[in-house]
Amino acid sequence: MIPSQSAKITALRIGAMNFDVSDTMLNSFRTNVQHIPANKFLLQDGEDGGKIIVVIDGWLSTSKTSLHGEVQLIDFVLTGDVADPTAADGKTAGLDVEAVTDALVCIIPLTIWHTMLAASPKLARANEHVQAAERARLSERMLRLGRGSAESRIAYALIELSLRLRPLGLLENVSFHLPLTQRHIGDFTGLTAVHVCRTLRRFVRNGVVETADHMDIRINDLKALSEIAGVEPARLAAEITPVPD
């Protein structure tokens, strides 16, 4: 899945748009490609930042860790997404960015990124769509983290991730693979891994989902899962996935 020679990359996806990176204005994409192995940190909270990370392939995560060691996974950054971990000072990373899987990314200095956005209206629109989708996802998850039950948090997470995987061609009917552990899902939903396990087992017993092989998911009853999550999937998809230009 990860190209063996990143220099051969001539095109990439941002949001729902495709870009020819041989274009002079966008050449920084091709010249800043890096292969990141799974479980490696690209940036850690407080490090020198000022960088934009565009995912060509694979999964990243963004997270915050308290002084006492509690972790909250903020978001998953998937193919076509743009992560800006820069804090308000414009110099340091305000969160951790880690590769969940082997990943291929473009890491571009913030100043160069701003120049690229100014030079390419299409890139600027794609970036706006990606950032709007991210804001919508964070709003939905914050609502459930603050007000939702364990069941609603996990049901929402499964629906969100399935909707995000669909335009990437990684959702087959109602089945998809999550390269995640129950700890990942727990950190994403503010629950312990044990609580995640119990809740998923309850969903399986009730025939709402099927699970296999860490972690293949099949949604058997989307209506029931949506009611638990408190969402309308069609409306949610329009809000949390970048739309074509």
Question: What total number of domains does the chain contain?
Answer: 2
pLDDT tens for 217-244 read 999 999 999 999 999 999 999 999 987 6
pLDDT tens track of the chain, all 245 residues? 444 445 567 788 999 899 988 788 788 888 889 999 999 999 999 998 889 999 999 999 999 999 999 999 999 999 999 999 999 988 899 999 999 999 999 999 999 999 999 999 999 999 999 999 999 999 999 999 999 999 999 999 999 999 999 999 999 888 999 999 999 999 999 999 999 999 999 999 999 999 998 799 999 999 999 999 999 999 999 999 987 66
Instruction: Tell me if 135 is assigned to some domain.
Output: no
| Predicted model pTM | 0.92
For residues 186 and 164, give the distance between their C-alpha atoms in angstroms, rounded to a whole number. Answer: 19
Structural domain of 196? 148-240
Instruction: Tell me if 245 is assigned to some domain.
Output: no
Those residues whose C-beta lies under 8 Å from the C-beta of residue 66, and which sit 6 or more positions away, are none
Domain finish residue from 129, 163, 195: 129
Instruction: Tell me if 122 is assigned to some domain.
Output: yes
CB atoms within 10 A of CB 218: 14
pLDDT tens for 128-161 read 999 999 999 999 999 999 999 999 999 999 999 9
